[in-house]
């Protein structure tokens, strides 16, 4: 199954390495009926299924916030720069893709 990602909106979140960052799951509010949910980048990060949450990667610094199903990094690192998608209730594609861009604290601009 191949989905056309060009039709999916992209949200960009800029952050600084070492800070705490929360990525909202596009289209989900505290009133949404969420039976299952998955956050993924190039791998599955977090899976929620009816009250049970499994964090697959970076357990020590990634949390799923219970009310909004946001992905919370504490702290974020440069390696977290990626595109993240939040798949709700087994939908084949996300409402939007969230691109996280993490900049180092002391990045010098080289021209």
Domain ranges of the chain: 10-103
Of the CATH numbers 2.40.30.10, 2.60.40.10, 3.30.70.580, 2.40.50.100, which one belongs to the domain with range 10-103? 2.60.40.10
- What number is the average pLDDT over the span 53-80? 92
Among the residue ranges 3-7, 67-71, 93-97, the one predicted with the least confidence is 3-7
111 falls in which pLDDT band (50, 70, 90)? very low
Model-level pTM?
0.83
Does 87 have pLDDT greater than 80?
yes
Helices in 15-56 by DSSP H: which ranges?
A: none
Nearest to 46 by CA among 37, 55, 59: 55
Nearest to 61 by CA among 44, 80, 48: 80
Bigger pLDDT: 5 vs 59: 59
104 falls in which pLDDT band (50, 70, 90)? confident
């Amino acid at each position: 199954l191949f989905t056309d990602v060009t039709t999916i909106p992209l949200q960009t979140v800029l952050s600084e390495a070492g800070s705490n960052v929360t990525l909202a799951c596009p289209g989900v509010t505290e009133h949404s009926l969420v039976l299952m949910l998955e956050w993924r980048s190039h791998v599955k990060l977090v899976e929620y299924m009816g009250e049970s949450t499994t964090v697959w990667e970076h357990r020590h610094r990634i949390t799923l916030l219970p009310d909004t199903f946001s992905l919370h990094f504490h702290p974020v690192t440069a390696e977290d720069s990626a595109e993240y998608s939040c798949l709700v209730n087994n939908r084949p594609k996300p409402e939007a893709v969230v691109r996280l861009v993490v900049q180092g604290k002391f990045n010098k601009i080289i021209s």
